[in-house]
Amino acid sequence: MSEIKKYSAKRIFTGYSWLSNHTLVVQDGMIAEIIPTSTEANNITEIIAPAFIDIQIYGAFGKLLSVYPDTDALHKLYAYSVAGGASHFQPTVATNDVAIFYKAIDAVRDYWKEGGRGCIGLHIEGPWIHPAKKGAHLESYIHAPSLAEVRELLEYGKAAISMITLAPEICSVAVLELIRSYGVIISAGHSNASFEEATEAFNAGIQTVTHLYNAMSALQHRAPGMVGAVFLHPTVLSSIVPDGYHVDFAAIKIAKQMMGERLFAITDAVTETREGAYPHHLVGDKYESNGILSGSALDMGLCLRNLVNKVQIPLEEALRMVSLYPARAINLSNKLGCIEKGKEANLVFLNNELQVTQVVSFE
């Protein structure tokens, strides 16, 4: 027997436009109708919008995935993500011993097998990055990859690895083509590429960039670098960490004016840990590892509020930056990031202060 639920709001943002005083009729997890709210409706929320998506998060509630590559860590990541308004997350492991990557792949598969929800797949950030732009990544693991190494990892992680962040200037064309042949999204990051090298990589099919400004060749007047290449490229997308520490809010405003809908938010969130290669410590409301800024204390709801309140981005555009645009970056905009008849109901409920009050997902 079909299950029908109704969700009413004073304002519904579809991902494209606002609807006033409408109700979503959800049948078996799919949006069956979007209709004007009847006078008998109760439990009317202020705002319903597409649930958020976080494509870069490392740990939550004391469990960093690279230290605890198990399903419990992924369940904690999901719970943290939902509390911040995200129905979907992409767990991320930074430059590390290859054995950690393999264990994280196993954890993702086991999580899916036991019915774990919201996990897009594994994001491996490094170790094929440029040591000059390593950030908090450990240089002892950083190297240029061989084809054999890449193929072995991709074979083991088939259908579980969803994204790899790498520096395109240290990877051969054959390596990049091999990664794409497995359906894995390549994101350029931790890169010292010149403007020309970055532009060439984007033209060759790299579709997104990892945490704009951070750990990449900067925009300078005689060397525009990767930042300049991102600004001027017509299609490449980029994530950004809107916490005011990774990037000044004014720099986010500049990037937004340059890039428009190609810019989206991630949390880059870590958690307190004293174990493993990256002992993250909370310093104020950011994290440091070995004395270097290493991750944020954001959730996606705080990303949204910072974009609206600190960067003065209009609410509808800020909502796209935490839902529709990250969905595009991971090639899932046909499923996530918007509210439309016939699509899965992945919804976030917000009050007038843009605090998350509920997430509904029928994955």
Mean pLDDT of 224-230: 98
- Residue 130, pLDDT > 90, answer yes
What is the model's pLDDT at position 261? Answer: 98
pLDDT digits (tens, 9 = 90+) for 191-222: 999 999 999 999 999 999 999 999 999 999 99
Q: Which CATH fold topology does 52-329 show?
A: TIM Barrel (3.20.20)
> How is the chain split into domains, by residue range?
4-49+340-361, 52-329
What is the model's pLDDT at position 43? Answer: 85
- Residue 363, pLDDT > 80, answer no
Q: Which CATH fold topology does 4-49+340-361 show?
A: Urease, subunit C; domain 1 (2.30.40)
Q: How confident is the model at residue 229 (pLDDT cuts 50, 70, 90)?
A: very high
pLDDT digits (tens, 9 = 90+) for 1-13: 678 999 999 999 9
* Beta-ladder partners of 263: 238
pLDDT digits (tens, 9 = 90+) for 267-323: 999 999 888 888 899 999 999 987 889 899 999 999 999 999 999 999 999 999 999
Question: Which sign does the torsion angle of CA 192, 140, 155, 328 carry?
Answer: negative
Q: How far apart are CA 202 and CA 263, in angstroms?
A: 15
Q: What is the mean pLDDT of the chain?
A: 96
What is the model's pLDDT at position 1? Answer: 60
Q: How far apart are CA 266 and CA 285, in angstroms?
A: 16
Q: In this structure, are residues 244 and 310 in contact, taking their beta carbons and an 8 Å threshold?
A: yes
Mean pLDDT of 99-123: 98
Count of other CB atoms within 10 angstroms of residue 79:
13
What is the model's pLDDT at position 202? Answer: 98
- CA-CA-CA-CA torsion for 244, 141, 157, 82, nearest 10 degrees? -20
Q: How far apart are CA 327 and CA 31, in angstroms?
A: 18
What is the model's pLDDT at position 40? Answer: 76
pLDDT digits (tens, 9 = 90+) for 20-46: 999 999 999 999 999 999 877 778 999
pLDDT digits (tens, 9 = 90+) for 134-163: 999 999 999 999 999 999 999 999 999 999
Six-digit token string for 228? 């300049």
